[in-house]
């Protein structure tokens, strides 16, 4: 349920930044690192509800996933991780360990959560 | 149609900034802060109680922030142990956030605190996305929740470096083999540290405190 808190922060931060951009907001495209514990479905439904009465009402929230990238100080590897795949349990998650030498790694991508862009059409919301 | 592009600032930037401010504030006052989170009834409060006893016994000054949806039961338990404590009711929120921690810190005499425990609301999932500004984060689960907790929440455990599996004294009674939990965790997080504990008996606590840098040989930081 914390998706509502996240979307509330998103709307609060985004609306003032769109002041200088007239037009109807059609889509808000968010990029979400795959390590985030956030349900896309819950984000979209929270957005639908919390955007009501704001400039973003009626816009579509699009959530794109960012794959994990790690770097290893021990061997210099940088790239994707190995994955733990359990078909029976329907998950495939990155294992935060160097796939080349097995050392601890730094996460360079996979934890972000940001608005990439907003698509506007040139009609105003008042045009219906 | 046209696009307005943004510079990639995190949606939760405000939360991250607040968490960093808490971290800096605690560092300046030389307070070591440990965030404790996990499922309802896993033993978070017992862990903090036992740690209070252990650390106070060594002359350290311990404080706690007790977060729950409602009530002040945990807060009273910490006070009864002689720790300074602040009660935080999150009401309908399923997690503590850095802003609430900031206010709670206002109520603590940080100059007189060596170690601070921040006990989150009982919830394994939601708090994971809200950093508070602590030095370390401990996730507490117990064998009574079943031996599949790691398998059910792999993404959380993949990113949690300190895991406590509590109530191992009850493992046989509830038909759980703790080794399975240990195996699942090392598969998903090869570098993490897992501790099997019976916190009511105080068992396993020293190993955890040592790993957190709070052992009797490493109280300087």
CA distance B90 to B4: 36
Residue A70, H or E segment: strand A69-71
**3-state SS string for B34-49:** EEEEECCCCCHHHHHH
- Return residues 82-101 of B near A (CB < 8 Å): 93-95, 97
Closest CA of chain A from B17, distance in Å: 13
Residue B101, H or E segment: helix B98-106
Q: Is A63 on the interface with B (CB under 8 A)?
A: no
CB contact under 8 A, A5 and B8: no
Which domains does chain B show, CATH number per domain?
Answer: 13-211 (3.40.50.300)
> How are beta strands A60-66 and A24-33 bridged, if at all?
parallel
Is pLDDT of A89 > 90? no
Across A76-80, average pLDDT: 97
Predicted pLDDT of residue B220: 53
Q: How far does chain B reach from its first CA to its final CA, in angstroms? A: 56
Q: Token digits for A85? A: 């795949």
| Structure confidence at residue B151 as a pLDDT band (50, 70, 90) | confident
Which of B5, B126, B190 minimises the CB distance to A2?
A: B126
CA quadruple B17, B23, B29, B34: dihedral sign: positive
CA distance B1 to A118: 10
Closest CA of chain B from A121, distance in Å: 4
B153-173 pLDDT, tens digit per residue, is 888 899 889 999 999 999 999
Closest CA of chain A from B127, distance in Å: 8
- Give the residues across from A78 on adjacent strands: A71
Q: Token digits for B107? A: 């109520």
Report whether B220 contacts B59 (CB < 8 A). Answer: no
Q: Is A8 on the interface with B (CB under 8 A)?
A: no
Residue A16, H or E segment: helix A3-17
Is pLDDT of B175 > 60? yes
Burial class (CB in 10 A: 0-12, 13-18, 19+), B185: buried
Closest CA of chain A from B99, distance in Å: 13
| Structure confidence at residue B14 as a pLDDT band (50, 70, 90) | confident
Is pLDDT of A31 > 80? yes
Show residues of chain A in contact with B1, CB under 8 Å: 26, 119-122
Find which of A15, A93, A101 to mutate to test the B interface (most B CBs within 10 Å of its CB).
A93
CA distance B43 to B65: 16
Q: Is A33 on the interface with B (CB under 8 A)?
A: no
The set of residues, in sequence order, having a beta carbon less than 8 Å from that of A119 and lying 6+ positions away, is: A25, A26, A27, A29, B1, B2, B3
Q: Which fold has domain A3-122?
A: hypothetical protein PF0899 fold (3.30.2320)
- Give the residues across from B51 on adjacent strands: none
Q: ipTM value of the model?
A: 0.77
Is pLDDT of A82 > 70? yes
Predicted pLDDT of residue B69: 80
Rounded alpha-carbon distances, angstroms, from residue A88 to A41, A85, B52: 22, 9, 42
Residue A62, H or E segment: strand A60-66
Phi-psi region of A39 (alpha: psi -120 to 50; beta: other; left: phi over 0): beta
- Return residues 170-199 of B near A (CB < 8 Å): 187-191
Predicted pLDDT of residue B169: 96
A74-91: buried (b, 16+ CB within 10 Å) or exposed (e) per residue?
eeebeeebeebeeeeeeb
| Structure confidence at residue B1 as a pLDDT band (50, 70, 90) | confident
Q: Is A94 on the interface with B (CB under 8 A)?
A: yes
Closest CA of chain A from B97, distance in Å: 10
Across B75-98, average pLDDT: 89
Which of B2, B8, B188 minimises the CB distance to A95?
A: B188
CA distance B112 to B129: 30
Q: Is A23 on the interface with B (CB under 8 A)?
A: yes
Predicted pLDDT of residue B70: 85
B41-86 pLDDT, tens digit per residue, is 999 999 999 999 999 999 999 999 998 888 888 999 999 999 999 9
CB contact under 8 A, A2 and B94: yes
Show residues of chain A in contact with B137, CB under 8 Å: none
CB contact under 8 A, B11 and A6: yes
Q: Token digits for B195? A: 């501790």
CA distance A34 to B104: 32
| Structure confidence at residue A105 as a pLDDT band (50, 70, 90) | very high
The set of residues, in sequence order, having a beta carbon less than 8 Å from that of B94 and lying 6+ positions away, is: A1, A2, B121, B123, B126, B127
CB contact under 8 A, B1 and A26: yes
């Amino acid at each position: 349920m914390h998706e509502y808190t996240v979307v509330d922060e998103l709307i609060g931060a985004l609306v003032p930044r769109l002041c200088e951009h007239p037009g109807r907001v059609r889509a808000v495209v968010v990029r979400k690192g795959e390590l985030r514990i956030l349900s896309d479905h819950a984000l979209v439904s929270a957005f639908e509800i919390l955007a009501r009465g704001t400039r973003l009402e009626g816009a579509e929230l699009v959530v794109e996933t960012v794959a994990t990238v790690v770097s290893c100080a021990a061997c210099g590897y940088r790239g994707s991780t190995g994955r733990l795949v359990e078909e029976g349990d329907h998950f495939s998650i990155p294992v935060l360990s160097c796939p080349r030498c097995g050392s601890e790694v730094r996460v360079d991508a996979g934890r972000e959560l940001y608005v990439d862009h907003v698509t506007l059409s040139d009609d105003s919301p008042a045009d219906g | 149609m046209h696009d307005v592009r943004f510079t990639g600032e995190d949606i939760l930037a405000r939360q991250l900034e607040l968490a960093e401010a808490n971290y800096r504030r605690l560092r300046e006052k030389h307070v070591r802060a440990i965030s404790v989170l996990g499922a309802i009834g896993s033993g978070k409060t017992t862990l903090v109680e036992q740690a209070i006893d252990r650390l106070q016994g060594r002359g350290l000054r311990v404080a706690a922030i007790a977060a729950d949806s409602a009530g002040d039961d945990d807060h009273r338990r910490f006070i009864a142990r002689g720790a300074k404590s602040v009660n935080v009711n999150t009401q309908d929120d399923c997690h503590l956030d850095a802003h609430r921690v900031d206010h709670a810190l206002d109520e603590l005499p940080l100059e007189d605190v060596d170690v601070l425990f921040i006990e989150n609301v009982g919830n394994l999932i939601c708090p994971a996305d809200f950093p508070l500004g602590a030095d370390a984060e401990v996730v507490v689960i117990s064998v009574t929740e079943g031996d599949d907790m790691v398998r059910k929440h792999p993404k959380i455990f993949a990113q949690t470096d300190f895991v406590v599996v509590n109530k191992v004294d009850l493992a046989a009674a509830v038909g759980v083999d703790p080794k399975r939990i240990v195996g699942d965790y090392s598969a998903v997080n090869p570098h993490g540290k897992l501790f099997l504990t019976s916190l009511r008996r105080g068992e396993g606590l020293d190993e955890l405190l040592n790993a957190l840098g709070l052992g009797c040989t490493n109280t300087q930081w």
